[in-house]
């Protein structure tokens, strides 16, 4: 489903590759237009290098320190010398917000080419967009903020929902980037129930349950993730019906 519906690089889907079977993962990597890999994963970095695919190493776990002050351990940047690096700001999972001032300091690193912004703070997103150096990219990390983020200056989306609705997600992003606001708002309103349903529990739990419900993957989930609570099944099913998936 994913490989059969390729999207431009800045509309890439998030893939939780550690859950993939090893001999299928390399085939998946070879068929992608762009690979985003954590810099801590030595095997996937080697696989990307061997396939010759364009890629970005996402330095999610190496930003630390006090709020507003950026620190990157030298090993984080040097860990993927053949790949450009993308920062990932996700305060909900790291407990630390990458502020515009901290990001401005990080932009001095030549390998750093993009930031995936998942703070949920539109003021911060707008500030980052306004201060974006030439040649750098700001990507929305939240489906439900893709439209306003692109309106503020983001150039794409790293999407969860696109695993379920690749064509529809692409249509939303394409319309927003083209400045077709009426069309983009219509797509946003149509897809909003799905966006919200996919986060009734920690991602990717609802997503994997939805994919299983549609028969696209086998049932089950790996620890430390747990199955979607039964009280949320009806919510996700309603969202799937709203998108004509059931």
Give residue 99's pLDDT.
Answer: 94
Known active-site residue 136: no
Spell out the SS3 assignment of the chain.
Answer: CCCCCCCCHHHCECCCHHHCCHHHHHHHHHCCCCEEEECCCHHHHHHHHHHCCCEEEECCCCEECCCCCCEECHHHHHCCCCCCEEEEECHHHHCCCCCHHHHHHHCCCCCEEEEEECCCCHHHHHHHHHCCCCCCEEEECCHHHHHHHHHHCCCCECECHHHCCHHHHHHHHHHHHHCCHHHHHHHHHHHHHHHHHCCCCCCCHHHHHHHHHCCCCCCCCCCCCCCCCHHHHHHHHHHHHHCCCC
- Residue 26, pLDDT > 70, answer no
Give residue 168's pLDDT.
Answer: 95
* Of 112, 199, 184, nearest in space to 150 by CA: 184
224-234 CB burial, b ≥16 within 10 A, e <16: eeeebeeeeee
Q: How confident is the model at residue 47 (pLDDT cuts 50, 70, 90)?
A: low
* Of 213, 212, 209, 193, nearest in space to 201 by CA: 209
Give residue 28's pLDDT.
Answer: 55
- Residue 89, pLDDT > 70, answer yes
Q: Token pair for residue 128?
A: 């980052």
- pLDDT tens readout for residues 155-165: 999 999 999 99
Average pLDDT over residues 39-44: 54
Give residue 94's pLDDT.
Answer: 87
Higher pLDDT, 110 or 191: 191
Known active-site residue 208: no
Instruction: Tell me the residue length of the chain.
Output: 246
- pLDDT tens readout for residues 167-183: 999 999 999 999 999 99
- pLDDT tens readout for residues 114-145: 999 999 999 999 999 999 999 999 999 999 99
Q: What is the pTM of this model?
A: 0.76
Q: Which residue is catalytic, options 46, 116, 174, 208?
A: 116
Residues 80, 59: Cα–Cα separation, whole Å: 10
Give residue 7's pLDDT.
Answer: 53
**Other beta carbons within 10 Å of 108:** 9
Q: Which residue is catalytic, options 88, 136, 174, 208?
A: 88
- Residue 83, pLDDT > 90, answer no
Q: How confident is the model at residue 220 (pLDDT cuts 50, 70, 90)?
A: confident
Higher pLDDT, 81 or 128: 128
């Amino acid at each position: 489903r994913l490989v059969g519906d390729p999207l431009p690089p800045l509309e890439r889907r998030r893939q939780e590759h550690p859950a993939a079977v090893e001999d299928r993962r390399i085939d998946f990597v070879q068929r992608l237009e762009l690979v985003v890999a954590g810099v801590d994963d030595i095997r996937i970095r080697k696989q990307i290098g061997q396939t010759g695919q364009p890629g970005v190493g996402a330095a999610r776990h190496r930003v630390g320190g006090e709020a507003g002050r950026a620190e990157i351990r030298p090993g984080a940047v040097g860990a993927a010398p053949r790949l450009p690096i993308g920062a990932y700001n996700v305060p909900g999972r790291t407990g630390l917000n990458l502020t515009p001032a901290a990001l401005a300091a990080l932009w001095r690193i030549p390998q750093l080419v993009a930031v995936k912004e998942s703070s949920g703070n539109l003021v911060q997103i707008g500030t980052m967009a306004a201060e974006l150096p030439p040649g750098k990219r700001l990507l929305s990390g939240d489906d439900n903020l893709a439209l306003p983020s692109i309106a503020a200056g983001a150039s794409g989306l790293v999407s969860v929902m696109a695993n379920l609705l690749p064509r529809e997600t692409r249509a939303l992003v394409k319309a927003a980037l083209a400045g077709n606001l009426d069309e983009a708002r219509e797509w946003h309103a149509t897809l909003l129930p799905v966006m919200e349903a996919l986060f009734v529990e920690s991602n990717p739990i609802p997503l994997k349950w939805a994919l299983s419900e549609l028969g696209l993957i086998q049932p089950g989930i790996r620890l430390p993730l747990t199955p979607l609570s039964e009280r949320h099944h009806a919510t996700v099913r309603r969202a799937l019906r709203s998108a004509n998936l059931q």
